Structure formats: structure tokens, C-alpha cells
Amino acid sequence: MTTLVAVGAQWGDEGKGKLVDWLAPQAQIVVRFHGGNNAGHTLVVEGEQTVLHVVPAGVLNPGTVNLIGPGVVVDPEILLSEISTLEERGVLRDPSRVRLSGRAHVILDWHLALDKAREEAARKRAIGTTGRGIGPAYEDKVTRRGIRVADLLDPDRLRGAIDRLADQKNFELVEYYKWQPVDRDELYRKAVEWGKRLGPYVDHVTRILDGALREGKNILFEGAQGTFLDIDHGTYPYVTSSNCVAGAVCAGAGIGPTRIDRVLGITKAYTTRVGGGPFPTEETGETGEKLRDVGAEFGATTGRPRRCGWLDAVMLREGAAVNGFSALAINKLDVLSGFDEIQIATAYRLDGKLTDDFPMTLSEIERAEPVYEVLPGWSENIRECRRFEDLPQNARDYVERVESLVNVPVEILSVGPGRDETIARDQPFRPV
């Protein structure tokens, strides 16, 4: 039995979806523990593309049970439409394969409207949210006004909860942002309907998890976003509204820290970021454009072009510190084929001084200038490589240099979007 947490080591979009899908056949349970449908995982299996936002990426493997934990915020419309698509494609035949915590909070029409209204009002210094209502839903959770999935199954309770929220939310929308109010009766009718349709999927997820642990199953915890988008450890306020680090598994899924075996940090072979916020190794010229074009760096959720730059070992070291990485997975190594030279940031120069550490404050991160090491590139297409030894020497040297700079072994390499385009140097689900 092994419990493995897979989290993004950068600003999200590291290709977690592909890796989770690759790892999932080795797990009996896959768990989402935070975030909402702002995560967009693109999976390519046998040439067919699936984009998932809420359902864990293990769903494409028939033997896997997929849990959505209490730490997740759920947009019922999105979850139901994902479930319908998966049912139509014959991937999901039995509701028992997707279990939704009754304790997860629900994203409501107010949350969507407020997200958009605020982002529009703050356009100049916008955080760059995906406008999916995630942040406002977490706000209501923390202020103890939120509506949970279990409430959807209890129409009387639901009516009271919606009424309690309505005055306050509509006041903010109408009076402050000059937006249309949300019709509370219509929302109530819709929410009752959501409850009926989601009912077969609602369960006591933490109890299922406890049972699976006792039975010695392999369990995979699927992180969304990434370490530097974490509400506490990321580049605040340009972050998401939940904790994304490995430790968030404990609260978000309901599992004690003594039961976590391994943590896999997922990084790209370079760096990307969507939306605003500091990005020390950003390349705004030709290099950035080439990385964006070759890596197809456009958001799965919003289609926004991603900002691109070289790999940043300072960030990865910080990621290793806050997550306790047992190993790294490097994705999209194939995208670096064809660069004469490849750079890695090994340190920052901050106010004239060299530092190996990721700075504490936003303004320091904004002022940090990367110090680069230049490595020779390779021209070969590496998408057919299936063993580390098959890679060109310069690609192997690059990977080994990352290992030594971050001081964490690189266990998995991804050389293409397809499930089989993967090099495993070790077995991620191994007892510790």
C-alpha cells in the first residue's frame, strides 16, 4: 500500500492531468482535495482528448474510484456536465466510481457573478482569476455562510440557507458593483434539481478513504493549480483561494499526516504562468514565444496564452521545502528539443546580493533577477524515448543538473502528451 500525493511545483498547468492519468492505473483510489473547476486537466488517451475540471483524472481507468473531498468547491452544473459526457462516452457506467463529499461547498450563481464583477472592477490590478466563482465560494465557506453539497439534498435546509445568503450577496452585487441580482427562487429551484441529480454520487468520502487505507490500497491524491498559487505559500495575492501544497491533502481529503507516504512534485522542463503576478524567469521575447508555440501554452480552462520562461531551480527548491518532495516528475521535456542553449535559474540577484532562496515578500520576488546557468541543448525529437538511456546526452545532463540543483531525484519524465510518452526511472507507488 502506498499513498502518493502529486502536486504542481510551479504556477499550475504543469501537466498534472497527464501524469495523474498515467499514475492512476496503479492506484485504486484517486482523490481531489482542494480547488474547484479552475483546474483544467487535459488528458489524451489513444488519441482522444478529454478535458476534466472537477472529476479526478483517474476516471478514465475502469478500476479506479474517484473521490471529490470536502476541501473542494463544486460547481454542480460543471460536475453534472462532466459526468454526462463521461457517461455518454461509456467511460463512466456506475456512479460508485465517482464519490462526492457531502461536505464539499457549492459554487452558486452569486459566486460566479461576484468573481466577474470584481475582476472587472479591479481590471488594472486584476489577479487574473478564471472567473469560475472559486474565490467567492471559499469566502462564504470561511465566513460560515456557505452551502454544502449535503444541503442540496435537504430542500428545507436549503431554502433557509439560500435566503440567508441572498440579501447580503445581492446587496453587494447590485449596490456596490451595479450588477443584476440573482433571483433567489430560481436559484432554489435549480439547486433542488442539482441535489436530485447529484444524489447518487454524494457520499461520506473521508470514511471511504479510511476504509481504503485500512485495506491497504494504493491511493493517489491529485493536486490542482500549483505550489506558487497556494494561498499561504504562493505569490500572494496572485494566488488561488485554497492551499495547494501537499499538506493540504490532510484537511482537504480528511487523512492524517502519518498516513502520507510519498510526495511527487510535478514541474515542466521550463516555467509558465497564467494571469498576473511576478515571474522572475519570464521570457517576453522570442524564447518565450517559441516555448508557447511548441508547448501549446494556452489555458485549458480559459484559452488564455500562458507567460513562458526558463526553468527556475530557486522556485523548485522552495517547492521541495514546503511540500517535502520525495521525487520530481519533469513534464514536456520534448518542448525543449531544438533550443541551441537551455537556461536554468540557479539563484537570484536581489538588491545587488546573490541569494539561493525564494524571497518572502511580493516586492522582493518582483525585484529578483534570475542568475542563469547555460546548458547545451539538443536537436533530436525525443518523443519516442521510453528509457532514460534513450535520451540524448544533453537532455540527460539537463535532467541530472535539475536533480542536483533541487536535491530531489527526478523519477518520471514526460516526453509528449500521450499516456505512453512517459519515461519512468523508478516506481512511484512503492512502499517506503
Cα distance between residue 340 and residue 358, in whole Å: 28
User: Of 41, 53, 111, 233, which one is the catalytic site residue?
Assistant: 41
Based on its alpha-carbon atoms, the radius of gyration of the chain, rounded to whole angstroms, reads 22
Tell whether residue 213 is a contact of ligand GDP (CB under 6 A).
no
Tell whether residue 13 is a contact of ligand GDP (CB under 6 A).
yes
- Cα angle 415, 416, 418 (rounded to 5 degrees) comes to 130
Roughly what angle, to the nearest 10 degrees, separates helices 313-323 and 393-406?
50
Cα distance between residue 232 and residue 26, in whole Å: 32
- Of 65 and 415, which has the nearer Cβ to ligand GDP? 415
Tell whether residue 97 is a contact of ligand GDP (CB under 6 A).
no
Roughly what angle, to the nearest 10 degrees, separates helices 134-142 and 109-121?
110
Say whether the peptide bond before residue 417 is cis (omega within 30 degrees of 0): no
Considering only CA atoms, which of 35, 102, 41 is closest in space to residue 73? 35
Q: Give the footprint of ligand GDP on residues 320-339 (CB under 6 A).
A: 331-332, 334-335
Tell whether residue 118 is a contact of ligand GDP (CB under 6 A).
no
Task: Tabulate helix, strand, coil % of the chain (nearest 5).
Answer: 40, 20, 40
Q: How far is the CB of 50 from ligand GDP (least distance, A)?
A: 10
- Of 16 and 169, which has the nearer Cβ to ligand GDP? 16
Contact 21, 412 (CB under 8 A): no
Q: How far is the CB of 21 from ligand GDP (least distance, A)?
A: 9
Cα distance between residue 304 and residue 425, in whole Å: 34
13 is a catalytic site residue: yes
Q: How far is the CB of 306 from ligand GDP (least distance, A)?
A: 9
Contact pick of 133, 247, 417, 428 for ligand GDP (by CB under 6 A) = 417
Tell whether residue 242 is a contact of ligand GDP (CB under 6 A).
no
Contact pick of 25, 26, 44, 251 for ligand GDP (by CB under 6 A) = 44
Tell whether residue 419 is a contact of ligand GDP (CB under 6 A).
no
Cα distance between residue 429 and residue 14, in whole Å: 20
Contact 346, 314 (CB under 8 A): yes
- Of 44 and 80, which has the nearer Cβ to ligand GDP? 44
Tell whether residue 17 is a contact of ligand GDP (CB under 6 A).
yes
111 is a catalytic site residue: no
Contact pick of 40, 71, 76, 275 for ligand GDP (by CB under 6 A) = 40
Tell whether residue 42 is a contact of ligand GDP (CB under 6 A).
yes
Active site residues: 13, 41
Return residues touching ligand GDP (CB under 6 A): 8, 12-18, 39-42, 44, 296, 300, 331-332, 334-335, 414-417
